[in-house]
A and B are shown apart, each in its own frame.
Chain A
Amino acid sequence: MKSILPFAIQIAGALHLLVAGANFVLPGILHYRENLAKVSPIIRQIFLVHAFYIVLVLVGFGLLCLGFPHELSGGSSLGRCLSGFLAVFWSLRVILQFGFYDRATKRDHPLGNLFFGGIFTYFAAVFIAATFFGK
């Protein structure tokens, strides 16, 4: 377990960048433009800024995983603390993916649901392992 953790974290790093990239495709699939035209300008601006920040955070997490896999797998107190945060972050995201988003939309996009749900579950599992079973 301990020896494969850094590698699993590096895979997670690459997947974070993949998810960040997928966020550039989502606006078209989910019709952001048409939807956001209905709300007030300030809400539209805040929505887009949040979406931008999600991509920024995903890129940050991705680079962290690619650059510091040994620290994140328990090599330092900082690394373990960051893994703990990532474990909480992705566990909550898994719960939201499966329990909060509309079933109808997920049924309309089964591959997208599987793609995101699967990757988020992998992230949660890796960082829970890194937090509790790292060296």
Chain B
Amino acid sequence: MNTLQPWFSLALWLAGIGHFCILGASFQVPSRLGWKEDLAKLTSFNRKLMWVYAGTTLLTIIAFGVITLLLHDELLRGDRAAMFLAGFIAIFWTLRILVDLLYFKHADWPVGRQFIVGHFLLTALFAALALTYWGLLIWNMMKGIS
């Protein structure tokens, strides 16, 4: 079991950094999808609500990255609260993949090779993040059993 520890340690460092890579894409979304023009059609309150929703989601992703990097050792050790957090982040990213597969209609997305490549890379990153936190959770549960 302990032979996996260096791998999970590395995976957690990469996952922490990975969250900040998502920010790079997130900051481009409003301009690339023309939010300013589109959101102008909403009432002022709903427009502000959209910005607050987006900002809150962004803040949560930043927190996932910061917490993963700062509390790397606690996550690796598998404390109860750390495992709750790992489980929550795993669910967060798994649902994001499911939303992409089952809810977003890709015909509605802007066309162009850069969007296809960006979409593929982001989805791959979401999958890597989900796998890392699910793996960590399962590994720590197995450690507890053995």
Of the candidate stretches A3-11, A72-80, A125-133, the one touching chain B is: A72-80
A50-B57, A56-B95 known; A78 vs B74 contact (CB < 8 Å): yes
Residues of B within 8 A of A85 (CB): 63, 66-67
Question: Contact mask A48-87 → B, CB, 8 Å, 1/0?
Answer: 0111111011001001100110010000111101100100
User: Mostly helix, strand, loop or mixed at chain B's interface?
Assistant: helix
Q: Contact between B81 and A79 (Cβ–Cβ < 8 Å)?
A: yes
Q: Contact between A47 and B71 (Cβ–Cβ < 8 Å)?
A: no
Q: Contact between A67 and B84 (Cβ–Cβ < 8 Å)?
A: yes
Residues of A within 8 A of B70 (CB): 81
B binding-site residues for A, Cβ under 8 Å:
29, 33-35, 38-39, 41-46, 48-50, 52-54, 56-57, 59-60, 63, 66-67, 70-71, 74, 79-82, 84-85, 88, 91-92, 95, 99, 103-105, 108-110
A sample of 10 more A-B contacts (CB under 8 A), given A64-B88, A78-B67, A85-B67, is A40-B38, A42-B108, A43-B33, A54-B53, A57-B60, A60-B88, A67-B84, A68-B84, A78-B79, A81-B67
